[in-house]
Amino acid sequence: MRWVNVLSLRPSLEAAIAETASQAQEALGCDADLGIVFIASAFASEYSRLLPLLREYLSVKHLIGCGGGGIVGIHPEQGIREVEQEPAFSLTLASLPGVTLKTFHLEPDDLPDLDSAPQAWVDCVGVNPEERPNFVLLADPFSSRINDLLQGLDFAYAGCPKVGGLASGRSLRGGSGLFCNDRYYESGSVGIALSGAIQMKTIVAQGCRPIGPVFQVVEGEQNVLLELMATDSNREETALEALQNVVQSLDESDRQLAQHSLFVGLAHSEFQLELQAGDFLIRNLIGVDPRVGALAIGDRVRPGQRLQFHLRDAKASAEDLRILLDRFCADSQNSDHKAALGALLFSCLGRGQGLYQQPDFDASLFQHYLGQIPLGGFFCNGEIGPIGGNTYLHGYTSAFGVFCPPD
């Protein structure tokens, strides 16, 4: 099994494709079973030319890809790069003997109703759940019904890992660039399922740090928090009072940060006693009703659920990723992580150099921990990855899919 990635920075699409295709095929040294392409939105007017040009240099049966506002890959001279708002083209090729591949494109009307049986989703995707597939999903942010798709795939393929992202870099007036085999699409979603002699392990870094105590929801309706109680006390208070008390306990710099970078983390497990980084699903705080002391957040809540307020900044984001990478490498099941074939990175447009004030941060940190394995990816309008066994659409996140031989 072999996995390679090549990144080109050439401003000509023809030159970028010729460069990546020739170098990737030479590095692979055999026929490719899988191709994954990420193309910068600087080439948006030429998206329809990508696949015909690529076919002039490369023959690969299973291929997916999309356009992005930033592109991740390995440049032959510069090494790992996160290229933002400039021309870039990333090509991943893989030779995967013993692996079954199935690509698919789904329009919103193709998706079953959410109350449909799992078999309806299996028929839609065309992959047997008993094969325990690993999914990579790319979607248009405006026309994919992505949350329905994720919920349906979790229903039909419970426990099967799923990562990906929403294409970025195009306006509401123009469709996103989605590529599947020999077709270019401007709507819906594309994906690939990998089954057999391969496994995909995931790292989902949401870039936040907790503040204040863990609370339990006493009263809540849909996405509105009404009453909370700190788990280390018996005193109930309105959600707004709880938040105000947490903010007042912070130092001055964190109080300033809370004015614009405050989030709510929902514990994904009802039974886990000790909660730590990665155990919360981070959601936006989207509204306050001071009349009743309520907070509205970007997800549904239920009584008894635990939550903790979070802050996000460059330091918190970097530390969160370090903790998760360190935990990934220390995990006994991942102890031989240097044997990984390759990886994909799906990072939020809100990260990158604008957040860290330095280039290539997430990708470089990943390679620092896991070694110089091939890494491709793009900056997304929303990132797809699992938290606590269920798959969610995230924001401000870096989601990695790490591909390895079976244990």
On whether both 199 and 245 belong to a single domain, the answer is no
Distance CA(202)–CA(395), nearest Å, equals: 16
Residues 250 and 326 in one domain: no
Q: List, edge to edge, every strand of the sheet that includes 178-180.
A: 2-8, 89-95, 34-40, 62-68, 178-180, 183-185
How many CA atoms, within 13 angstroms, populate the side-chain half-sphere of residue 254? 19
- B/e letters for 181-193, b = 16+ CB within 10 Å, e = fewer, are beebbbebbbbbb
Looking at the structure, do residues 11 and 143 belong to the same domain, yes or no? Answer: yes
Same domain, 150 and 238: no
| Spatial separation of the C-alpha atoms in residues 277 and 129, rounded to whole Å | 30
Q: Are 18 and 10 in contact (CB under 8 A)?
A: no
* 136 and 282 together in one domain: no
Beta bridge partners of 163: 136
Range of the domain at 265: 209-311
Give 322-367 pLDDT, tens digit per residue: 999 999 998 856 555 567 999 999 999 999 999 999 999 999 999 9
Domain boundary among 311, 343, 363: 311
| Residue 49, pLDDT score | 96
Q: Where are the alpha helices (DSSP H) in 206-278?
A: 239-248, 252-258
Is there a contact between 396 and 207 (Cβ–Cβ < 8 Å)?
A: yes
Beta carbons of 5 and 24 less than 8 angstroms apart: yes
| Phi then psi dihedrals of residue 321, to 5 deg | -65, -40
What is the pLDDT at residue 172?
Answer: 47
Number of domains the chain is built from: 2
Q: Nearest 10 degrees: CA dihedral of 35, 39, 43, 45?
A: 60
- State whether 166 and 50 are in the same domain: yes
Summarised one tens digit per residue, pLDDT across range 29-88 is 999 999 999 999 999 999 999 999 999 999 999 999 999 999 999 999 999 999 999 999
**Does the pLDDT at position 171 exceed 70?**
no
pTM of the model: 0.93
For residues 188 and 95, membership in a common domain is answered with: yes
